Structure 1
Amino acid sequence: MNKAKKWLSLSLSGALLLGLLAGCGGGSETTPAPETTAPVEETAPSEPVAGGILRYGTDSEPTGFDPHTVSEEASLRVINQLYETLVATNADMTFYGELAESWEIPDDVTYIFHLRQGVKFHSGREMTAEDVVYTFDRVLGKTEAGDIGALGSSSSYFGGIESVEALDPYTVQFTLAEPNAAFLNNLTSNYGAIVDKDVIEANGDLMRADGGTGPFQLGEWLPDNCVELTKFADYWEADRVVLDGITYYLIGDESARLAALRTGEIDIANLSSTNVTAAEEEENLAVLGYQTNDYIAMGCNLSTPALQDKNVRQAMSYALDRQAIINIVYNGQAAVSSMVPPAMGHWSLDVSTMDLYQFNLDKAKELMEAAGYSEDNRLTLKLAAGLMDSLRQAAVVIQQQLAQIYIDVEITNLESGEYVDIWGKMSTPEAGFDLMVVNDGAGTDPNRAISFFFGSTASANVFGFSNERVDELCALGIATTDEAQREEYYNEAQEICIDDCTKLCIASPMKYFVTSTRVHGFSPSAADSSNFRDTYLTQ
């Protein structure tokens, strides 16, 4: 039985679901499940109630917890609780110091950070400037133990760093090769998480080890079942953390997650818009909706001969009825999007009037016929989708829409680990797939949104797109702090990427957390970097 089927069967049986929740410390006396679904008091107490385990129903299996190499959502949900960065952003995207209490920028290429003193890793060792130096040596491929530089995961973020120096135990200086307007933004990503050198040297990597400073530390991980985090007693802001821990239960079926919320077996879960209406009708549940910086897209493997023809790629863009996909997959709760989603404000192009975003079957068929295809000579393409509900559903709608323009799509839904492995090969024949439906995060700066996924040498440019002008525009955009000039550069880059159609961006969805009304102090983040540091439970 594959993982998806295992989660589904666990989810659809009440008895088995209770067994699942009993793992990883489930059923703790500090957080008993309510015996009924009667509504609780809506008014939160004036002071947080100490203790309790937050029970999170998650939709997919983490692949590991190394912040410098992992990018899929299920893992990042956990990583965000374990690790911290020098700086972070508030809900309004302004910066504040996290592991750095302050910083200064004496010139365009120099950043000096003053670290908080007394911050401890989960190992108990104090974090110093040498750990910051080690962290960035690691992501840039300058270390021996735990070297991940060959993976290139952080090249689009930190490749412009010339040096990182410890000026004293609590002061670190970054010197850039050239000005980088997105540098502070980049530091807020998981790739900028500060890690414990000793833990990496002892374990080889951080996929199943914990080298963080965050409010929670890694406890038990039972694959295909649950992940347990416990409160870190020596956290530098220990008085701020109220929960005793968090347990992530793997419940792949969305209807089962909603059922577990209704019966009080879990406290929080991510749900699609399809089930939000039902959740809103429950008096003991609260719905938190937010516009994300994520988007779904369909990428083309350019090693597939048929997809090297731009006519075919553009034909698929005309054949995609993006609004229909939004209506079916997201219940209308999403916005048509480029690779810079509307949540990023003025950085995002208004694609609603762009020609290649218009649903036009006649134009699509004309381009396919120009490429040599017809009803008597149909093209067959293999499409890979992940286990996220939205990716599976979008794949089916895409299959139906492309069937109208002489393209037969064969869908395979992959498990998380296999999906990530294939994703990294999607510009090569070794992938075994011609198309892939992806859910990508644009981050908080347009340079991340474009150069990270479309730069010719970028690690996340897995579909093989390459355009010298886009590379040039991204280089120009990162080198100036003039926002109007940056917007001009990135708008042109978006237009080129859209015209090429290697990656057909579709929609940026609203996302929803549904919580028990006893959950307080939790605010979702548009960049999906939500942290439970301030969350607490009422009984």
Structure 2
Amino acid sequence: MTTIPRLAAGTLALLLAAAPLQAAELRIGLAAPPTSLDPHFHNNGVNNSQARHVFDALTHQDANQQITPGLAESWRLVDDTTWEFKLRQGVTFHDGTPFTADDVAFSLERAPRVPNSPSSFGTYTKQIRSWTIVDPHTIRLHTDGPSPLLAIDLSSVAIISRKHGEGATTADYQAVRAAIGTGPYRLVEHRPGDRMIYERNPNYWGGAEPWERVTFRIIALGPARVAAMLAGDVDMINEVPSTDMARLRRQANVRLWSGQTNRMTFLSVDVHNEVPIPGNASDNAGNPLPRNPMRDLRVRQALSLAIDRDIIVDRVNEGEAVRANQLVPEGFFGYNPAIQPESPDPERARRLLAEAGYPDGFRIVLHTSNDRIVNATRTVQAVAQMWGRIGIRAAVETMPHTVYSGRTARNELSHMLHSWGAGTGEAAGSFVGIVHTRGGAYGGSNRGRYSDPQVDAAIRQALVTVDEDRRRAILQQTMATVMESRAILPLVFWVSTWATTPDLVYVPQANQATLAMATRRAP
């Protein structure tokens, strides 16, 4: 039994340099299915983790989200608005087609324009206005103003083949036929909602992976994943339920690998609509409210003050979480150390509600996905109880993530539990995704429709500020402004745990990715 925190780079290298394997299959029990295997369709963690097996990006993130070379072996700033990327030579797609700068251009054109995307990858390409192919292995990207984070952003954009991607639809990737990348594995079978099967790419530019075959089985229920692990039906599972941690630590045939992640569970409320979305809020007699109470800062402050985040850490998550008081964990670029954790204060919360005109409270519906967010149902039930003590009577409704994401995107829900991971390793990515006013490449996951022109301007300024001290100051001030608005209520950052058989080592990923490439036999 082993539990490890996030690891230093040297330790990571030692673990992943374990003795080579003979041909073998790795069987992984996965908590949630990808919504799509089109690497440009839906920007979420599960999808992106699966895509990394088949597709590379120009830059890669290591386990601690530090940027390393990918399909680009080097990059440099030519001038304030031009980045030059030197591409690896000799790289081929799975069908043997040579990888060139033309494939990069095609991928950058497609990524932000996939039809009906619930969360667009345009958030990572938004500053690129054009490109110049210098030669087959050199491409220059021209940006709208300075773009100091471009190399980080591009670690999230999969490079696909023009040959196989031109004219291909999302359905073609789902059906495997278009899923041809340069990555360490080839997708050979996809049964939606059930499993994905990969085979090793023997010609991978980074060196052939030791696993000949990798099978991801979708086992949505936590107890069922644990049972499969203990029965030997799988070699590894992700998202070990916090309720099973103590039991598994006593098992001789299980090793646990844990690490704090960048993923936050948070509450988002509708601050956009003048009147509540039908069916989402009412007075205590069940009558529609004439105005949306969430537009009143005092109401949002009351909701936050009613929440005891330590209880959510200790009782809901069995201690396998870290309380959150802003949108990125401590240590991330843009974290504001001046923001103090908020202590629960139900008495003050009730006074604020009374000042806002709701001395007796009101009724709302609190929604969440029941198959994507760790302990989501338990969390919303706990929050509903806490809100009930100040007069906010919250009915809880849960649904599959595939349904939930569609309803939130269509602006049908007012009070929501979500999760978000700071995929770029700094606050700017979170601001772009869940804070900036929705529109174009910005605010794609801003489900509560929070909007502040001054905050938008600050986010855009940070994105073009090259001086790191200045950019940090902008992000920290923006963090303070956003937290003061209480339109987004952070609850906890996840501590993710993977379980493996005793002969395996897994390197926890700060972005929660479950990767065959991070799994090896124990030295």
Question: Residue in 1 aligned with 2:133?
Answer: 166
* Residue in structure 2 matched with residue 385 of structure 1 by the alignment: 369
Taking the TM superposition and a 5 Å limit, the aligned residue runs for 1:232-251 are 232-239=201-208, 241-251=209-219
How far 1:46 moved relative to its partner? Answer: 6.1
Residue 488 (str. 1) matches residue 488 (str. 2): no
Q: Distance in 1 between matches of 2:165 and 2:398?
A: 33
Paired with 1:386 and 1:181, the residues of 2 have a C-alpha distance of 38
Q: 2-side partners of 1:157 and 1:414: how far apart?
A: 29
Residue 358 of structure 1 aligns with which residue?
343
Identity %: 23
Match of 2:194 in 1: 225
For 2:46 and 2:112, locate their aligned partners in 1 and report how far apart those are by CA, in whole Å.
Answer: 25
Partner of 1:410: 395
The Cα of 1:225 is off from its aligned counterpart by: 2.2
- 2:228 is aligned with 1:260: yes
1 or 2, which has the higher helix percentage? Answer: 1
Deviation at 1:172, TM superposition (A): 0.9
The aligned residue for residue 20 of structure 1 is none
TM-superposed deviation, 1:148 = 4.2
2:117 and 2:379 map into 1 onto residues whose CA distance is 33
Matched, 1:310 2:290: no
Deviations 1:473-497 (A, max 9, x none): 2122222232222221111111111
Question: CA 1:350–1:392 in structure 2 vs 1: closer, same or farther (change >3 Å)?
Answer: farther
Structure 2: segments with no counterpart, 5+ residues: 1-14, 277-291
Distance apart, 1:346 and its partner CA: 5.4
- Equivalent residue for 1:30? none
Q: Give the aligned residue type for 1:214.
A: G
1:360 is displaced (CA, Å) by: 0.8
| 1:397 CA drift (Å) | 0.7
Aligned equivalents of 1:456, 1:199: Cα separation in 2: 35
The 3 A distance-change label for structure 1 pair 319 and 374 is: same
Instruction: Report the counterpart of residue 25 of structure 2 in structure 1.
Output: 53
Q: 1:140 and 1:164 mapped to 2: Cα distance?
A: 15
1-structure distance, mates of 2:479, 2:454? 11
Residue among 98, 105, 129 paired with 1:133: 105
Assess if the C-alpha contact under 8 Å between 2:263 and 2:422 holds in 1.
yes
8 Å CA contact 1:294–1:439 kept in 2: the answer is yes
**More off after superposition, 463-472 vs 114-123:** 114-123
Alignment of 1:322-337 (within 5 A): 322-337=309-324
Matched with 1:294 is 263
Q: Retained in 2: the 8 A contact 1:129–1:168? A: yes
Displacement of 1:260: 1.8
Equivalent-residue separation in structure 2 for 1:126 and 1:196 (angstroms): 9
Correspondences of 1:128-527 after superposition (within 5 Å)? 128-141=100-113, 147-148=114-115, 153-189=120-156, 192-205=157-170, 206-209=173-176, 210-239=179-208, 241-270=209-238, 271-302=240-271, 303=273, 304=276, 305-345=292-332, 347-350=334-337, 353-354=340-341, 357-375=342-360, 378-388=362-372, 389-425=374-410, 428=411, 431=412, 433-443=413-423, 444-457=425-438, 458=442, 459-520=444-505, 522-527=506-511
Give how far 1:325 is off: 0.9
Taking a change above 3 Å as real, the CA distance of residues 362 and 131 of structure 1, as seen in their structure-2 partners, is same
TM-score normalised according to structure 1 size = 0.83
* Whole-angstrom distance in 2 between the partners of 1:69 and 1:390: 26
Question: Does the CA contact (< 8 Å) of 1:60 and 1:252 recur in 2?
Answer: yes
Residue 114 (1) aligns with residue 81 (2): no
Provide Cα deviations, 1:328-372, integer angstroms capped at 9, x if missing partner.
222123222244322544532347735xx2211011111222233
TM alignment of 1:39-50, pairs within 5 A: 47-50=19-22
- Measured in 1, the distance between the counterparts of 2:141 and 2:267 equals 37
* Cα RMSD (Å): 2.5
Q: 8 Å contact 1:120–1:127 — kept in the other structure?
A: yes
Structure 1 unpaired stretches of 5+? 1-42, 142-146
> Is residue 73–residue 86 contact of structure 2 (8 Å, CA) maintained in 1?
yes
Tell me, what secondary structure is at the counterpart of 1:347? coil
Query: Which has the higher mean CA deviation after the structures are superposed, 226-235 or 490-499?
Result: 226-235
Checking the alignment, whether the CA contact within 8 Å between 1:86 and 1:100 is kept in structure 2 is yes
Deviation at 1:314, TM superposition (A): 1.6
SS of the residue corresponding to residue 188 of structure 1 reads: helix
Q: TM-score, normalised by structure 2?
A: 0.86
TM-aligned CA deviation for residue 467 of structure 1:
0.8
- CA–CA distance in structure 2, aligned partners of residues 332 and 536 of structure 1: 28
**Structure 1 residue matching 2:516: 3-state secondary structure:** coil
Structure 1 residue matching 2:403: 3-state secondary structure: helix
Contact persistence 2:131–2:140 (CA under 8 A): yes
